[in-house]
Chain A
Amino acid sequence: MSGYQTGVLVILCFNIIAAYAVYLPLAANQLNLGIAGFMAVGAYAAAWLTTELNWAIAPAVLVGGGASALVALVVATPILRTQGIYLALATFALGQVISAVFLNLEVVGAAAGYQVPAYAPAPAVFAATAAIVAVVFYLSRTRFALYLTALKNDATVSELLGLNVRALQIAAFAIGAAIAGIGGGLYAHHFSFIEAQHFNVALSITTVLYVLLGGTQTVWGPLVGALVYTLLPEVLRVGAGWRYVLFALFIIGFMAVRPRGLVTPDLGRRLGAMLMRRARPGKAVP
């Protein structure tokens, strides 16, 4: 694999991790517009542990994810009292506050940024990404995921059927934050440098955009969204500045014609039927 290919794959991995961090709360009807803030918590916590306390990278990254989940748990209860647009705006404000706090935090370099000597090579990033994807896919096969879809469809009825809607939403929000934190910790150790300005609104927003581009009704959507977002500009060989222009045009056009995203359950069923037809030629599938 060339250095260029490895570089693209690493970026793809970080985008996939971020996508699932946004997807989980979104599956529970929570639009998190502040995911960059949670990445920052994980990144700074893990970097501080390896740099100042000489921890090994793996436990530091996991604790970084835990720290991010902890922040999510602390803010979840009051924030999730708000719903819909208010919740989205509260997460937006939270992301801004977190990134502004790191901009002022002297122990991790404040505005000058933070050097991270411990290095996580590309294969480590690949392995961690695979593990996160595996965990999310596992979850998608459980009642937990079933209940998230249920409460997203109708929270009142879910509650009357006995679901603890609040606890499920907090769990989805916190697991999403943990994933974002792990992604942030890996990012810090792969690129050896972090600065608060990296974890900005644009990062949060573009992540949400490609997740919705992929679609949030199935667990495949975020993966496809991250793939399209990362690889399409590479394939088309557009300059760095124009890739976002292209991406934004893509999003707008797409939302106008296919607002449920690229991957929908319906698409899955149709693909399934096609494969069946292939497998059993001559037998018509209605």
Chain B
Amino acid sequence: MIAQQLVNGVMLGAIYVMVALAFTLAIGILNFMNFSIPGLFMAGGMATWILIHRGVPWWAAAVVALIVAAAISLAVERLSYRPSNEGDVEVPLVSSLGFLVLLQSLVLATVGSDQQAFPAVLGDLNLRIGGLVIGAAQVLSLAISMVLVIGLTVALKSTSFGRQIRSIAESRETATLLGIDVGAVIPRVFVISAVTAALGGVLFALNYLQVSPFMGENVGFKGVAAMIVGGMGSVWGAVLGGLLIGVAEVLSIRLFGADTVDIAVYGLLLVLLVVRPQGLLGKPPAREKL
């Protein structure tokens, strides 16, 4: 049934939206392709699972997982982003890949490579609307991601913190001249980005009742695809891209089988990068001056 598939696609898309949002904040504000984000996504889900296993209530486990992710992200800021402010663009990118490998291999070394079952903490509460079945966790994911998007849009537009962020994104020098404490704002951007990604990981675990060391690689990287499809640096682009990738994935599983998902999603991404690298809602890059 196609309507049910679309609903499932949108719900999966809501998770991708969160990862794409995390990426787009980093690239839009800091011009930093932060590849540690899929790792933070995994860390969010995995840390929650580990804590639940130790007897911590699931909601408290989730909160602690988000704090852990934020702390890791501050380390990324300090060790990957800050040292190479003037250097090559590839250095922070590569260093953040180092964090991804670190997080993934830490979990592999301690928990092992198996997929772990995540408890159904929300029960099997299902909403039935017409012929459609929508799970409580799905509704929660969609609601949280939409609240985040709208909250971020409003915050960027009308709070003083938002204005500071926008002027930093525009030009760091001008922001400094305007008296903005750039050194204090940037770590907060890392925290917001990390919490968004890790929350995505927690919601993924609640929805699909599984976590694994590879969830960042399998799911988190689709967030990169979503961000590019939507347009780098655009919040609403992340939403559009995330939902599109979610629907494309669910439909390609339905039509061609599970093994073809990567061909569909990354093929789509590849074509888009060639045809319209700025994405659907992004701006084309500026030209060089001599």
Is any CB of A less than 8 Å from a CB of B in the complex?
yes
Interface of A toward B, CB cutoff 8 Å: 31, 78-79, 81-82, 84-86, 88-90, 92-94, 96-97, 99-101, 103-104, 110-111, 156, 200-202, 205-206, 208-209, 212, 239, 241-242, 244-245, 247-249, 251-253, 255-257, 259
B270 surroundings in chain A (CB, below 8 A)? 79, 90, 93-94, 97
Cα A209 to Cα B80 with chains together (Å): 13
Are B274's CB and A79's CB within 8 A?
A: yes
B16 to chain A, nearest CB (A): 15
Option from A79, A200, A212, A245 in Cβ contact (under 8 Å) with B106: A245
Decide: A212 and B259 in contact? CB cutoff 8 A.
Answer: no
How many whole Å from B212's CB to the nearest CB in chain A? 14
Contact string against A for B residues 146-168, beta-carbon threshold 8 Å, 1 for contact and 0 otherwise: 00000000000000000000000
* A79 contacts across to B, CB distance below 8 A: 270, 273-274
Residue from B27, B224, B266 in contact with A100 in the complex, judged by beta carbons closer than 8 Å: B266
- Does the CB pair A255–B98 fall under 8 Å? yes
Question: Residues of B within 8 Å of A, CB-based: how many?
Answer: 45
Contact call B98/A248, Cβ cutoff below 8 A: yes
Chain A residues with Cβ below 8 Å from B173 are: none
- Bound-complex Cα distance A111 to B98 (A): 29
Q: Measured between alpha carbons, how far is A111 from B262 in the docked complex, in Å?
A: 14
Query: CB within 8 A of A96: which of B27, B105, B262, B273?
Result: B262
Minimal Cβ-Cβ distance residue in B for A255: B95
A82 and B33 CA atoms in complex are apart in Å by: 16
Contacting pair B263 A208 (CB below 8 A):
no
Chain A residues with CB under 8 A of B267? 93, 97
Please name all residues of chain B whose beta carbon is closer than 8 Å to the beta carbon of A259 when the two chains form the complex: 83-84, 87-88, 91, 95
Q: Using Cβ atoms and an 8 Å threshold, which residues of chain A touch B89?
A: 84-85
A208 to B92, CA, bound (A): 13
In Å, the complex CA distance between A85 and B277 comes to 10
Residues B277 and A97 in contact, CB atoms below 8 Å apart: no
Given known pairs A82-B274, A97-B262, A248-B98, the reply for A255 and B83 (CB within 8 Å) is yes
User: Cα distance A103–B264 when bound, in Å?
Assistant: 13
Give B residues with C-beta under 8 Å from A: 27, 33, 79-80, 83-84, 87-95, 97-102, 104-106, 108-109, 217, 221, 224-225, 228, 259-263, 266-267, 269-270, 273-274, 277, 288, 290
A and B contact pairs by CB, cutoff 8 A, 29 listed: A79-B273, A82-B277, A86-B228, A97-B267, A99-B262, A101-B263, A104-B263, A156-B288, A200-B217, A202-B101, A209-B97, A212-B90, A241-B105, A242-B105, A244-B101, A244-B102, A244-B104, A244-B105, A245-B105, A251-B94, A251-B95, A251-B97, A252-B80, A255-B80, A255-B95, A256-B80, A256-B83, A259-B84, A259-B95
Closest 8 CB pairs of A and B: A248-B102, A244-B105, A241-B109, A100-B262, A251-B98, A255-B95, A96-B266, A248-B101
Contacting residues, chain A, for B269 (C-beta < 8 A): 89, 93
**Cβ–Cβ < 8 Å partners of B33 in chain A:** 85, 88
In the complex, the answer to whether A256 meets B79 with C-beta atoms within 8 Å is yes
Query: Does A156 lie within 8 Å of B262, measured CB to CB?
Result: no
The total of Cβ contacts below 8 Å across the A-B interface reads 136
Give the chain A neighbours of B92 by CB distance below 8 A: 255
> What chain B residues lie within 8 Å of A84 (beta carbons)?
89
Shortest CB-to-CB span from A204 to chain B, Å, is 10
Closest to A84 in B: B89
A97 touches B94 (CB 8 A): no
**Given A79-B274, A111-B259, A255-B91: A208 and B97 within 8 A (CB)?**
yes
Contacting residues, chain A, for B79 (C-beta < 8 A): 252-253, 255-256
Please report the C-alpha to C-alpha distance between residue A100 and residue B273 in the assembled complex, in whole angstroms: 19
Shortest Cβ distance from residue B267 to the other chain A in the assembled complex, whole angstroms: 5
Q: Give the CA-CA distance A89 to B274 in the complex, in Å.
A: 11
**A156-B288, A248-B105, A255-B84 known; A90-B274 Cβ under 8 A:** yes
- Complex: chain B residue closest to A216, CB-CB: B90
- B166–chain A nearest beta-carbon distance, Å: 21
Bound form: Cα–Cα A81–B94 in Å: 22
A92 to B223 Cα, complex, angstroms = 13
Given contacts A209-B98, A259-B84, 7 further A-B contacts (CB under 8 A): A85-B33, A85-B93, A96-B266, A241-B108, A245-B102, A249-B102, A259-B88
Partner of A255 from B94, B106, B262, B263 at Cβ < 8 Å: B94
Contacts of A208 in B (CB 8 A): 94, 97
- In the complex, residue of chain A having the shortest beta-carbon distance to the beta carbon of B87: A259
Q: Contacts A104-B259, A252-B80, A259-B88; is A156 near B290 (CB within 8 Å)?
A: yes
Give complex CA distance A82, B262 in Å: 21
Contacts of A241 in B (CB 8 A): 105, 108-109
A257 to B273, alpha carbons, bound, how many Å?
33
